[in-house]
Amino acid sequence: MNPNRALLKSAHSITVLTCIVLTVAVTSNAQTASPDISGFWELRSWSRNIPKAALTPAAANADRQAQAEKEFHAIRWCNHVGLPFMMDDGAPIDVRQSKNEIAIASQSNSPVRHIYMDGRQHPSIDTFDPTTLGNSIGRWSGDTLVVDTIGFNAAGLNAIPGGGVRNENSHLIEQYKLSAEGRKLQVTFTWIDDQMFAKPHTYAFMYEKLPSSTTAREWLCDPMDGARARFLIDPPQPPK
């Protein structure tokens, strides 16, 4: 065989092999890339599927008046609302995703929620101070984001849609999944607490994505605002 022809054939074979390797790598990366759920997401009037929770007898007989007074106190004094309220406070939520963390901000009086994606485990409950948001760690299962949260307290607005309340025993598992070519985001919430629920309580929200031009609005809550306090405390009066 002509040496030049052999060299050309060898070079051609290497080029073809390189193209195949690059194609496989690009395809593999495309298949393994996680969906990006970043953006502003809003609930509509039809966006909530909330079954009634199966409560334990003790939870079903809880003092509802005391719970109402607790929630009023949290609103009146601008306490951090926490989960689950921050996920449905009447305004869009802002989700920002990076490789190692997903942050969720609401426009209500709540810190930013941090979901750690770097493979860490929950901290020891013996050393972690419980909060209204708890400690959240996440992982991708195919195209679904699975978030596990423990380390809650009972402060803020802790009523759970469908029945029950967030407390120190609460364990929340969420599943986030995009649909409609990324225009919708379904979040399924499952609360586990054998002192509160006879069985795990699951409900779902369907968020719609807002335009990329959407910006956050800050909710300023001033506990020393006298006019706001009077509005909340004084009973509304009918026409005279």
The model's pTM is 0.84
pLDDT in tens, 174-209: 999 999 999 999 999 999 999 999 999 999 999 999
Per-residue pLDDT at 27 exceeds 50: no
Every domain of the chain and the residues it spans: 39-233
Beta bridge partners of 101: 116
Percentage above 90 pLDDT, the chain: 80
Per-residue pLDDT at 8 exceeds 90: no
The mean of the pLDDT values for the chain is 89
CA dihedral 172, 178, 183, 189 (to 10 degrees): -20
Phi, psi of 19 (to 5 degrees): -60, -40
Mean pLDDT of 143-155: 97
Given this model, what pLDDT does residue 1 score?
Answer: 52
Per-residue pLDDT at 9 exceeds 80: no
Following DSSP, what letter does each residue of the chain receive, concatenated?
--HHHHHHHHHHHHHHHHHHHHHHHHHHHHHHPPP---EEEEEEEEEEE-PPP-B-HHHHTS-HHHHHHHHHHHHHTT----TTGGGSSSS-EEEEE-SSEEEEE-SSS-PPEEEE-SSPPPPPTTTPPPBSS-EEEEEEETTEEEEEEE-B-S-SS-BPTTS-B--TT-EEEEEEEEEGGGTEEEEEEEEE-TTTBSS-EEEEEEEEEPPTT---------TT-HHHHHHHHSPP----
Architecture of the domain whose range is 39-233:
Beta Barrel (2.40)
pLDDT range class, residue 16, cuts 50, 70, 90: very low
Given this model, what pLDDT does residue 33 score?
Answer: 81
In the numeric block, which tokens belong to residue 112?
Answer: 């930013």
pLDDT in tens, 59-69: 999 999 999 99
Given this model, what pLDDT does residue 75 score?
Answer: 95
Per-residue pLDDT at 110 exceeds 70: yes
Mean pLDDT of 82-90: 96
Given this model, what pLDDT does residue 231 score?
Answer: 95
Per-residue pLDDT at 90 exceeds 70: yes
Per-residue pLDDT at 18 exceeds 60: no
Per-residue pLDDT at 47 exceeds 80: yes
Given this model, what pLDDT does residue 32 score?
Answer: 61
Given this model, what pLDDT does residue 73 score?
Answer: 96
Alpha-carbon distance of 127 to 133, in angstroms, equals 16
Per-residue pLDDT at 7 exceeds 50: no
Mean pLDDT of 142-150: 98
Given this model, what pLDDT does residue 2 score?
Answer: 52
Alpha-carbon distance of 102 to 93, in angstroms, equals 13
